[in-house]
A and B are shown apart, each in its own frame.
Chain A
Amino acid sequence: GAGVSQSPSNKVTEKGKDVELRCDPISGHTALYWYRQSLGQGLEFLIYFQGNSAPDKSGLPSDRFSAERTGGSVSTLTIQRTQQEDSAVYLCASSWTSGRGNEQFFGPGTRLTVL
């Protein structure tokens, strides 16, 4: 079956612009995660969805970051007023549930470059 897909694969934007990153999880997966991979910070957790709700948004680095998930499927990560430090690869992952030990399946990522 299809894996996790993300779009766009690459995004170049100017400082101050807003960007939207999209994630299509594996069909039937109820848990969805966003991570960020950057040279300085490594792989860091951003936010988690169970169904359409995000119980904990404390992983988001600032209030310029927001995310939503609709229909228990597609998720969008929005970054407003982008800054150069937002440049990173944004990875999405999904799993059957949020139960302990469930492996997470990752998408190919969106490489964001803020000029």
Chain B
Amino acid sequence: EVQLLESGGGLLQPGGSVRLSCTASGFTFSSYAMSWVRQAPGKGLEWVSGISASGGSAYYADALKGRLTVSRDSSKNTLYLQMNSLRAEDTAVYYCAKNRQPYLFGDAFDFWGQGTMVTVSS
């Protein structure tokens, strides 16, 4: 059974940083591209960042470039998202999501974690 478990969220100060983690199980993690998608309270879904299966290519939403670093550790079956210079508008549930097909990047997301809440407030 595929499982994705996010962690690392919480109440954070504006200007601070956070590192989110997503631990995967139930599939060959190193064969699938992964993404982060966020959802502000009461709002829609927004793709934030993604990384290729090998980890060699990383992609970011234009509005967030420069503040994000996505990475993965296949030895730990874990996906990471480092966010810097946090702003109130970064307040959201952050989901990790698995690509439907192996090795491709552009694709549907067939499994999602339960999300981790990031609240940026002083």
A joins B in a complex = no
